[in-house]
């Protein structure tokens, strides 16, 4: 089963409404926002990392970057490293690399959400390909995934 079908089935079973969009092939969450003419604050991008050797999923607005030091401190970890492409492919075998959804719970991963993403009524995210996205209410996402909410991002203007 591909990522899209896995998510559709899961959300239908949970009676959660969603809608899907298609767009030209893009490789970044920022480009998704541009293609779909929505604020980059509403597009969830996923970053996969290892905290003391344990894989975690970080979900944050497309307009932000992960601050690994903030993650390390918040988790009390000695080391936080970004996952490599091979590790992404292994963890999300039904997704194109870089097109993972924020539903780490479906892949056995804990999910950490940047606090600023929680203020959005709806979030949009890739569903396994670089040409398709799905949108759901943030509240529905939170009720299904039970993410850990933390402040770990820095805005793109702070780079």
pLDDT along the chain (159 residues), means of 10: 93 97 91 92 96 98 95 96 95 95 96 97 96 97 97 73
- 20-53 tens-digit pLDDT: 999 999 989 999 999 999 999 999 999 999 999 9
- Which residue stretches of the chain are H helix? 3-13, 29-36, 68-75, 85-91, 138-145
| Measured distance CA(32)–CA(36) in Å, rounded | 6
What is the number of structural domains in the chain? 1
- pLDDT score, position 156: 66
Whether 82 and 48 have beta carbons less than 8 Å apart is answered as yes
- pLDDT score, position 158: 45
- pLDDT score, position 157: 56
CA atoms within 13 A on the CB side of 98: 12
- Among 66, 136, 76, 51, smallest CA distance to 101 is for 136
pTM: 0.94
| Measured distance CA(98)–CA(119) in Å, rounded | 24
The CATH number of the domain where 72 resides is what?
Answer: 3.90.960.10
Residue 64: domain span: 3-158
- pLDDT score, position 145: 97
């Amino acid at each position: 089963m591909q990522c899209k079908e896995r998510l559709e089935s899961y959300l239908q079973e949970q009676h959660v409404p969603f809608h899907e969009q298609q767009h030209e092939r893009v490789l970044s969450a920022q480009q998704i926002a541009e293609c779909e003419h929505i604020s980059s604050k509403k597009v969830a991008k996923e970053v996969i990392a290892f905290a003391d050797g344990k894989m975690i999923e970080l979900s944050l607005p497309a307009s932000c970057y992960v601050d690994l030091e903030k993650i390390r401190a918040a988790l009390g970890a000695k080391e936080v490293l970004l996952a490599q492409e091979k590790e992404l492919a292994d963890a999300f075998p039904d997704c194109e690399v870089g097109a993972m959804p924020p539903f780490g719970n479906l892949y056995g991963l804990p999910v950490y959400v940047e606090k600023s993403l929680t203020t959005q009524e709806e979030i949009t995210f890739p569903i396994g390909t670089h040409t398709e996205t799905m949108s759901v209410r943030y509240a529905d996402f939170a009720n299904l995934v039970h993410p850990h909410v933390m402040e770990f991002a820095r805005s793109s203007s702070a780079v």
